[in-house]
Structure 1
Amino acid sequence: MLCRTLEVTRAAYYQFTSREPTANQTKQIQITQAIREVRKKKHHDAYGSPGMHRELLERGIQCCRNTVAKFMRKAGIKANRRSNFRISTSDSNHDQPIAANLLRQNFSTASINQVWLTDITYVPLAGGKFTYLCAFIDLHSRKVVGWKTSRNIDSELAVAALRQAVALRSPGAGLIVHSDRGCQYASEHFRNSLAQNGFIQSMRRRGNCYDNAPMESFFKSYKTEEANEKYETHEHATRDASNYIEQFYNSVRRHSSLNFQSPIDFERQLQTPILVGDS
């Protein structure tokens, strides 16, 4: 009936159905299948065509970024961009000292342990409660160098995360620590901790999130790729934050600002000695 309707012979129809796929069709099938496999991995569904392209290259699949974008569109695959409820965790209505903005949106650095960024975000829990996550990021490598969670959003949370970062990185005096104007960072407790280590404090302007854009970008990735649902308990939220930061963000997640390397791979490359005769 189909052949009669389309006015083709049965022989032509069977020849069509038994025809081998072309080279382009085979390539499209291969790339699309690889894209689906990458997306099945935890946290990888937020990758757009640039990150997906680098993942495929690492798997030995030679293709260009535009090809990946085209095949993703044909397959109806796009980066997951979940929306999240947002509350403010920054209370700048206080009478504590405010540090000058030393960065002024200049996020270029020459080495690690030159500038650290920090901020606090919330993680929703069941029953309308929250866990608060404070993190410190090295601006040069985008690596999370220290973090802590707490049921309370106070200076102790910020100081605890700072202590962890110092213990793991052992930075020298003169390190700039950049944050918002929140009371946690303006507190005497936090300022004394910076002074004891010889660190220099910097704060963004009031209400200008672009002054701490790389830090905001980390929290956006965290909320999109991990903390997109309410956790039952504080312990559950803390465990998943640890898994995300240590097992994915620092060691696996590709950053466009690092030439699509992970922070750990980027820092490892910085530490690789240049051999005589290398160009």
Structure 2
Amino acid sequence: MSRYQFIQDCTELWPVQVLCQVLGVSCAGYYQWRGRAQPAPVPWQVAAQAAFLRHARRYGTRRLRAKLRAEGHAVGRYALRSWLYRHGLRALSTRPQRPRTTVADPAAVVAENRLLGQPAPTAPDRVWVGDITYLPLVGGRWCYLATWRDACSRRVVGWHLAAQMPTELVLLVLERALTLRQLAPGFIVHADRGSQYTSAACRARVAQAGAVPSFSRPGNPSDNAQAEAGWSTLKTELLPHGTAFASLEEARLEVAHYLDTYFNLDRRHSALS
């Protein structure tokens, strides 16, 4: 069942324009879809749609199941959870669910933190710091922004945005940065202990580039503070008032303009003031 089906089943309760706006689809697209032949909806899903909208996203799977069973629909929480996920619907939560971007591999071989006690670099391309952050998409989804940032100039020397955050995401960004910069052997590449950075593939590419690896100490997120600096500002300026990007493609366009045109070329960084 699609979001358009959800809208069609709830038009007696809410105007089509409001439903389209809430679910992030166009009215034209809905009416075009409605002109095609559609299979009959499952009764419990129709009831779930009505209850979910009637209670303005305040009902999660537990309350939805109780509501549906009171109406004679025998449906379990797993089926409800799957149905909500397929349609990008998420109930309100007092504790926002945010993805973890740093998941350490306890078996990985890592290097020491080579930045501890060292003065800040006074020239570009002596130290790069890497990090991954998440950005929200409509429907409770996420995308992941990986960057490498120069510790002296504070410029982002490489970035990419993807729907997942495998090791390949970090490697792609590192490859782009290495292609664009002329680096002397011995420069430091620093990151946290996330499995993407401590992976054999990432460590091998860092060694091939003639760089020296450096990692944050366990349980010390402040060791990678410079890489993480600016994420809250980026999210506030790109997504005011807790909004979300409509799609991954929109997120990439907005982030490209922000980082390549504004952040790197125009924005004054407080550390350099």
Indicate whether the TM-score tops 0.5: yes
**Aligned residues: CA RMSD:** 1.7
Taking only the aligned residue pairs, the percentage that are identical comes to: 36
* 2-structure distance, mates of 1:169, 1:248: 20
- Paired letter, 1:231: F
| Deviation, structure 1 residue 226 | 1.6
1:194 equivalenced with 2:206 (yes/no): yes
* 1-structure distance, mates of 2:180, 2:262: 18
Task: Give the conservation status (yes or no) of the 8 Å contact 2:105–2:198.
Answer: no
Specify every segment of 5 or more residues in structure 1 that has no aligned partner in the other structure, as ranges: 1-83, 260-279
| Deviation, structure 1 residue 251 | 0.9
Helix, strand or coil at the partner of 1:152: coil
In structure 2, do the counterparts of structure 1 residues 215 and 86 end up closer, same or farther at CA, with 3 Å as the change threshold?
farther
* 2-structure distance, mates of 1:106, 1:138: 16
157, 182, 186: which one aligns with 1:174: 186
| Deviation, structure 1 residue 232 | 1.4
Helix, strand or coil at the partner of 1:223: helix
Task: Give the conservation status (yes or no) of the 8 Å contact 1:123–1:227.
Answer: no
Alignment of 1:235-250 (within 5 A): 235-250=249-264
1:88 equivalenced with 2:93 (yes/no): no
Q: Which residue of 2 aligns with 1:156?
A: 168
Q: Which residue of 2 aligns with 1:213?
A: 225
* 1-structure distance, mates of 2:123, 2:162: 31
In structure 2, do the counterparts of structure 1 residues 87 and 199 end up closer, same or farther at CA, with 3 Å as the change threshold?
same
Alignment of 1:1-279 (within 5 A): 86-104=98-116, 106=118, 108-228=120-240, 229-259=243-273
* 2-structure distance, mates of 1:225, 1:107: 31
Helix, strand or coil at the partner of 2:266: coil
Task: Give the conservation status (yes or no) of the 8 Å contact 1:123–1:133.
Answer: yes
Task: Give the conservation status (yes or no) of the 8 Å contact 1:131–1:149.
Answer: yes
Which moves more between the two structures, 89-98 or 218-227?
A: 218-227
Helix, strand or coil at the partner of 1:172: coil
In structure 2, do the counterparts of structure 1 residues 158 and 247 end up closer, same or farther at CA, with 3 Å as the change threshold?
same
| Deviation, structure 1 residue 105 | 6.2
Task: Give the conservation status (yes or no) of the 8 Å contact 1:105–1:211.
Answer: no
| Deviation, structure 1 residue 221 | 2.0
- Paired letter, 1:240: E
Question: Could you list the runs of 4 or more consecutive aligned residues of structure 1 that deviate by over 6 angstroms after TM superposition?
Answer: none
Helix, strand or coil at the partner of 2:254: helix
- Paired letter, 1:222: L
Q: Which residue of 2 aligns with 1:13?
A: none
* 2-structure distance, mates of 1:102, 1:217: 19
Helix, strand or coil at the partner of 1:122: strand
Helix, strand or coil at the partner of 2:107: coil
Task: Give the conservation status (yes or no) of the 8 Å contact 1:209–1:216.
Answer: no
| Deviation, structure 1 residue 95 | 1.2
Aligned residues: 176
Output one character per residue of 1:207-240: Cα deviation in whole Å (capped at 9) or x when no partner: 3221112211122221222244211111111111
Q: Which residue of 2 aligns with 1:43?
A: none
| Deviation, structure 1 residue 107 | 5.5
Output one character per residue of 1:76-95: Cα deviation in whole Å (capped at 9) or x when no partner: xxxxxxxx975420001431
Specify every segment of 5 or more residues in structure 2 that has no aligned partner in the other structure, as ranges: 1-95
| Deviation, structure 1 residue 110 | 2.3
* 2-structure distance, mates of 1:98, 1:213: 19
Greater RCO, 1 or 2 (C-alpha within 8 Å, sep 6+): 1
Task: Give the conservation status (yes or no) of the 8 Å contact 1:130–1:151.
Answer: yes
Task: Give the conservation status (yes or no) of the 8 Å contact 1:105–1:210.
Answer: no
- Paired letter, 2:188: I
